[in-house]
Amino acid sequence: MIDFYGFQINIIDLTFSIILIISAFIGYHNGFLKEIVSTLMWLLSLLITFTFLEEFQTIFSNFINNEIILKVVSFFIPFLIIFLLNSIFFKLIFNNLNKSNTFLLNKILGLIFGIFRGILILILCYIGIAYLFKTKENFPEIMSQSSIFEPVKNFSIYVWKFSFL
């Protein structure tokens, strides 16, 4: 526990709060339109990478023998290249997007979008932690003492069940 002006704050609560604040700030700073374009860029890069993942693995298997390293390299190298190409492409197409960033509504919607993105990041963090500890219930004490972790855990489980009916 960390003492913060008389309040006892768990490190997990602090970390989750920082993630939400940073995501909201970035959303506000970039504005809604830029955030939507950025999200599309990430999703398109992931979609292309996953679509051709087997082909990438076949290509890289000529150079890499270790299966775990092969999977990591076959995902990250193509993803980074595709993401870079998407970045260049989207910058050329949406060059005038910065002009719309001055509108207050765009910034407020960006803030709201940033908060939702932060919540999504927390859900993905929980899923990663659950995968790491191979459990949905028995977590280390520092996590079970957190005020925020339990609601994030419950919401993540709900989203996971809803997503994969």
Q: Which residues contact 104 (CB under 8 A, 6 or more apart)?
A: none
Give the Cβ contact number of residue 35 at 10 Å. Answer: 24
pLDDT per position as a tens digit, 57-94? 899 999 888 887 888 888 889 999 999 998 898 888 77
At 25, the amino acid letter reads F
- Stated pTM of the model: 0.67
Measured between alpha carbons, how far is 45 from 83 in angstroms, rounded to an integer? 5
The backbone region for 7, taken as left when phi is positive above 0, alpha when psi lies in -120 to 50, beta otherwise, is: beta
Q: Where are the beta strands (DSSP E) in the chain?
A: 2-4, 7-9
User: Rounded to an integer, what distance in angstroms lies between the CA atom of residue 54 and that of residue 116?
Assistant: 32
Instruction: Kindly report, residue by residue over 1-55, the tens digit of the pLDDT.
Output: 777 677 777 888 888 889 999 999 999 998 898 888 888 888 899 889 889 989 9
